Amino acid sequence: MAHLRTRRRHALLAVPAALALTASLGFLPGVASAAAPAAKPTVKTDGPLLSYVVNTATERGTLDAVKKSVRQNGGSIVESYDKIGVIVAHSANPDFARTLRAVPGVQSAGATRTAPLTPAATTDVGKPQKLKLPKSYAAAAAKAAKSGKGGKNAQEPLESLQWDLPAIKADKAAKVNPGSRKVTVGVIDTGVDDTHPDLAPNFSRSQSASCVTGKADTSAGAWRPFNPATDYHGTHVAGTIAAARNGVGVAGVAPGAKIAALKVSTDKGSFFYAESVVCAFVFAADHGISVTNNSYYVDPWMFNCTDDADQKAIADAVNRAVRYADRKGVVNVASAGNSNFDLAAKKITDASSPNDTKPGPRDIDPAKCLDVPAQLPGVITVSATGVNSLKSYYSNYGIGAIDVAAPGGDARQIPDAPAKDGRILSTLPGGDYGFLQGTSMAGPHVAGVAALLKSTHPKSTPAEIQWILKAQAKNPGCPAQAPADAPCVGTKNINSHYGYGIVDALAAARG
C-alpha cells in the first residue's frame, strides 16, 4: 500500500494565564466590573486551511468548554462525536493544534493532513486488469439477475476463475450457510457501486453513507465512488465479501449477507483521512453493522507514532472510534499492508511518508508506531496468501502482529486452468469484473468469514468471534524455504506469516 505524507510543524501561540482565565470566564450579567474587558488575543489565520481532530474527555462540561476554545482559536466545528470525545474541526490558524493541546480537558489534538491531495493508501498492488467478457454475457447476466436464477447450490458463471473460494472452502460453505440477511458488512473504502448486478441484491442503502467530510451524508448515492474509473477499490472489496449467488458473474464468501458502503476517500487523490474514518466507525456502530472491512491505512502516515503530536492525535481519534464500534458489537477486520515489512521487527524504514508532500525515509520503532487501523487493539489483522498457500510476496507479516491469513492473490503463484491468474477476481464499477492483488483482497475474505460466524453465532462478542476465527483457521506452518527477505518464525500453530492460520469458511458456516 502506498503511504502517507509529512506534516508541517506549528509554532506555539503563547496565551498569558490571566488573559486565558478572563476569556474563559467572561463577565457575569448584572455584575459591575471596575476594569474594562481585556482585548481578545489576535488569532492567526494565515496558515493553510487544514482539518484537525481534537480528542477530549467526554463530560458535557469539558466538551462544551473545548468546543468554545476551538471557536475562539479560529476553528470551525465540522462534527463532534461526543460519545467518544472526538471533535473534527477546520482552521487556518497555524498555531491551532498547539494551542488546543494546552486547553484543559484536551488529551490530544493534531492536523489530519498537511498538503494538497495526492494518490492514497489503499492496500492493493497495481491497477485492476478487467476481465474481457463475451458480448453476449451482459444480456445473459441481466436476464439472470432479473429472473433471480442461481442460489446456494449453483456455481456462478465466473466462479471457475475464483481459485480463492475453494482455498478457504467458501464454495462448500455456501451450500451449508451462505450467511444471514441480519448480518451486514460495512465496506469502509472508496465507495461501492450498488447498481452492479452482483452487488445490488445484497446492498443495504439504509446502512450506507459518505463520511468524506468527517460528517455522515446519507443522501441517495452519496456512498458511490466519485470516479468509477479510479475509485474501483471498494466495489472490488464488496464483491469478495458478498457478491450474490444469483446466476451472475462471481460469488462472494458470504453471498447471503448484506453489504453497506461507508465512503471515506476524498474526491481528489482518494485519501483516507482520520476524520472520515472516525465517522465511518461511529456510523457503523450506530446503524447495526456487524462487521467492517478496512483495506487501507489512514493517511497521511503509514505509521502513526506516539512521539509525534499530530500522529498521536490521529491514532487516538481512530482508536476511540474503533473501541466504540467494538463495544457496540462490531467485528473490525483490517489488511496488514503491502510493503513486505516484518511488523514485529525492532526497526522499520518507512520511505513513503508523508504521502501528501515529499516523503522521506524515517526509522520506525514498532513499539511506538502503529499502522492505523490494522494494529489497533481488537482489530483483526490479515496477511495475504497466494494459490500455493504461501505468503504473498508483498504482504506484511510478523509474529504477534498477524492474526490470520487469507487469499490476497499473488501474480507469482499461478493457479491451474481455468483460472490461470494468481490474483483475485471480483466486481468493478459499471458491471465489470477484474483481477487485483493485495492484502486489500485478503481482508475481505476474512470479513466474509466473520460474517458467516456472526450468522452462526449472532450473540457472540467481537472478541469471541475473533477467537473462533483463529481456532478454526488452518495453519500450514512455516514453509520449508521461506524467502530470505521474509523469514518465517514461530510454530505450526502460530507464526509470523499466517498468524493462527488461513481462515476456514466452511467451519464458520457450520458454526
pLDDT by residue for the chain (511 residues), tens digit each?
433 332 332 222 232 232 232 233 232 233 333 344 444 567 777 788 999 999 999 999 999 999 999 999 999 999 999 999 999 999 999 999 999 999 999 999 999 987 633 344 555 656 677 777 665 565 566 666 565 555 545 789 999 999 999 999 999 999 999 999 999 999 999 999 999 999 999 999 999 999 999 999 999 999 999 999 999 999 999 999 999 999 999 999 999 999 999 999 998 778 899 999 999 999 999 999 999 999 999 999 999 999 999 999 999 999 999 999 999 999 999 999 999 999 999 999 999 999 878 898 999 999 999 999 999 999 999 999 999 999 999 999 999 999 999 999 999 999 998 989 999 999 999 999 999 999 999 999 999 999 999 999 999 999 999 999 999 999 999 999 889 999 999 999 999 999 999 999 999 999 8
Q: Which residues contact 459 (CB under 8 A, 6 or more apart)?
A: none
Single pTM value for the model? 0.88
Q: b/e string for 402-427 if b means 16 or more Cβ within 10 A?
A: bbbbbbbbbbebebeeebebbbbbbb
Please give the backbone phi and psi of residue 263, each rounded to the nearest 5 degrees, phi first: -75, 130
CB of 318 closer than 8 Å to CB of 277: yes
Q: b/e string for 85-103 if b means 16 or more Cβ within 10 A?
A: bbbbbbbbbbbbbbbbbeb
Using CA atoms, how far apart are residues 120 and 139, in angstroms rounded to an integer?
36
Place of cell 471533535: 87
CB of 121 closer than 8 Å to CB of 302: yes
CB of 117 closer than 8 Å to CB of 272: no
Using CA atoms, how far apart are residues 260 and 449, in angstroms rounded to an integer?
16
The beta strands (E) that lie in 100-251 are given as 106-111, 125-130, 184-189, 209-210
The single-letter code of the amino acid at 14 is: A
